[in-house]
Amino acid sequence: TQLLEQSPQFLSIQEGENLTVYCNSSSVFSSLQWYRQEPGEGPVLLVTVVTGGEVKKLKRLTFQFGDARKDSSLHITAAQPGDTGLYLCAGAEKLVFGKGTKLTVNP
| Site for other proteins, rule CB under 8 A | 2, 30-31, 33, 40-45, 48, 88, 92-93, 95-100
Give the H or E element holding residue 72.
strand 71-76
Q: Which C-beta is closer to other proteins: that of 63 or that of 97?
A: 97
Q: Which C-beta is closer to other proteins: that of 19 or that of 96?
A: 96
Q: Which C-beta is closer to other proteins: that of 2 or that of 80?
A: 2
Q: Greatest CA separation found in the chain?
A: 38
Contact 2, 98 (CB under 8 A): yes
